[in-house]
Amino acid sequence: MSNLKILVVDDEPVFLELMAHMLARAGYREVEFAQSAEEALEAIDRPLARFDCFLLDIQMDGMNGVELCTRIRAMQPYARTPIVMITAMTEKHYVDAAFLAGANDFVNKPIDLREVRARMGMVEAILSERSQLSMVSSQLVDTEAVVGARVSFDSATILEDCDFLAPASRLEAHLLRQGTLRLLSSVAVGVHVENARALHDRAPGLPFADLMAEVGYAIREAISGGDRILSYFGRGDFCALLPQATPFDRQEVEAAIELKLAQIPGLAFDGPGMMPVVKVGAPKRNGLRLLGDTTWMLYAAMADARGEDRAAKKEAIAHVA
């Protein structure tokens, strides 16, 4: 039996009963319910309220679930609390919006117990990992250099606090939930910081994380227009997911990123040798791989940016969910 505190929000009372039943069968009994976004916000605002997870219906009268997700994410205690959206197949146009609003995952209506268990298992895994990371950090000597030195070169989570980047795990989850047509209309573009290892070795930890954040911001500004989602995968690898129709020229984007980085005062640590050197890969689509691993295009895009001859395998890029 889990003691996770869950808030379920849906404007259909019978559905809330059903969720109570499903969650109880999955081992969750500390569950509260709200029949509207407004009621949910009141529950969250209660002085001693502290929820570990939110399950939000998308379509509700008044404030919808996507807007509610945005509001919850804006609250400091819940900036990273797992949020699972409850969606129907007819709501695919809301899925992107929910994802951009900060949702972690989705459960489909009509619900079944197996999927509820799987999604809650994901929630438990996220919370467990964060709890372990928090314990490790709190045991370290509290100096920025020491804490920063623990930021691994491989880690994809060093930029989790950047609100203009989506966590790598969320980008993967988003692709895994896309339907065929949406996948066909999306492309992935990889951006690699060629001297990331040298930059990290010279100034590891938080200075490296800050530098990658500046690079990420420059990439985001350079790839303008349309709904683009950008994530950091560790080791100087970024990946952007774009609508296929977005106008895109690799060389222009590279030049734009370089220009933006050059304009940041004090960015180069000790001369031009330490300025991030960025390579943009060719756009990649899943194509015939739709029936296989739908995240293939992300790794192929990043491999292309690294100039690798063969497509990268997922195992080559370690990331923390």
**Interface with other proteins by CB under 8 A: which residues?**
1, 12, 14-15, 17-18, 21, 24-25, 27, 59, 61, 88-90, 109-112
Closer residue to other proteins, CB minimum distance, 26 or 255: 26
| Shortest Cβ 74–other proteins spacing (Å) | 27
Closer residue to other proteins, CB minimum distance, 115 or 254: 115
Token pair, residue 114, equals 């197996």
SS3 assignment for 7-65: EEECCCHHHHHHHHHHHHHCCECCEEEECCHHHHHHHHHCCCCCCCEEEEECCCCCCCH
Alpha carbons 55 and 119: distance in angstroms, whole number: 10
Closer residue to other proteins, CB minimum distance, 61 or 142: 61
Token pair, residue 284, equals 């990649």
By three-state DSSP, how is residue 85 classified?
A: strand
Closer residue to other proteins, CB minimum distance, 182 or 202: 182
Alpha carbons 39 and 24: distance in angstroms, whole number: 22
Closer residue to other proteins, CB minimum distance, 134 or 180: 180
Beta bridge partners of residue 237, listed in sequence order: 192, 234
Token pair, residue 275, equals 């300025």
Q: Which of 49, 93, 98 is nearest to 75 (CA)?
A: 49
Closer residue to other proteins, CB minimum distance, 27 or 307: 27
Alpha carbons 31 and 189: distance in angstroms, whole number: 41
Burial annotation 121-143 (CB, 10 A radius, 16+ → b, else e): ebbbebbeebeeeeeeeeeeeee
| Shortest Cβ 94–other proteins spacing (Å) | 12
| Shortest Cβ 26–other proteins spacing (Å) | 11
Alpha carbons 95 and 85: distance in angstroms, whole number: 9
Alpha carbons 237 and 181: distance in angstroms, whole number: 27
Kindly list the strands in the beta sheet with 31-34, ordered across the sheet, starting from the edge strand earlier in the chain. 31-34, 6-9, 53-57, 83-88, 105-109
Closer residue to other proteins, CB minimum distance, 112 or 221: 112
Say which residues have a Cβ less than 8 Å from residue 275's Cβ, sequence separation at least 6.
Answer: 261, 262, 267, 268
Closer residue to other proteins, CB minimum distance, 118 or 140: 118
